[in-house]
Amino acid sequence: MITFVWAEDENGLIGKGGSLPWNLPNDMKFFKEVTLTGNVLMGRKTFESIPNPPLKKRENVVLTRQTDLEIDHVLVMHTKEEVLEYAERTDKPLHIIGGSDIFELFVSDVDMLYKTKIHDQFSGDTFMTSINYQEFDLVEEKEGILDDQNSHRHTFQIYKRK
């Protein structure tokens, strides 16, 4: 099974200057809970945005066009085909965690979407790829709880391909 796990603002923004445009610990917690159920695939730039890589207790797969790139404790891959073969031979979900090129590359292969909708507008430079939500059913929706550390209204949504 292939999933997307991401957070976007009201304009579909996901990134700013190589990191996240917002600080929302609740979303980090949700991200961890979801991705710990499987392995993670990300683009090379998203990997470089992780503070203490690799993400623990999950196999980290990084996609790059650099044929000589080696990263300790990380599976480096170069093509979509290689990733799909890997997803098929592992019995765990493969959670695709961005960024936009990587979401775009797998948009027709994804089975489930774990989306955090942030009801606010930020500035930034990286946007979510367009998804045809008519191909998916919304199966779960939960409002995030606001507190001192989590000041942006947000909703966790789970979609399943029809």
Ligand X SMILES: NC(=O)c1ccc[n+]([C@@H]2O[C@H](COP(=O)([O-])OP(=O)(O)OC[C@H]3O[C@@H](n4cnc5c(N)ncnc54)[C@H](OP(=O)(O)O)[C@@H]3O)[C@@H](O)[C@H]2O)c1
Judged by CB under 6 A, the stretch of 87-95, 100-108, 143-151, 153-161 that binds ligand X is 100-108
3-state secondary structure (DSSP) of residue 45: helix
Per-residue x/- track, 19-58, ligand X (CB under 6 A): xx---------------------xxxxx--x---------
CB 129 within 8 A of CB 103: yes
**Side chain identity at residue 47, one-letter code:** F
148's CB contacts (< 8 A; 6+ apart) are none
Among residues 51, 52, 57, 65, which is the contact residue for ligand X, using CB under 6 A?
A: 65
Judged by CB under 6 A, the stretch of 16-24, 106-114, 137-145, 151-159 that binds ligand X is 16-24
Q: 47: burial class by Cβ within 10 Å (0-12, 13-18, 19+)?
A: buried
Could you list the residues that contact ligand X (CB under 6 A)?
6-7, 14-16, 18-20, 42-46, 49, 63-66, 78, 97-102, 105, 126
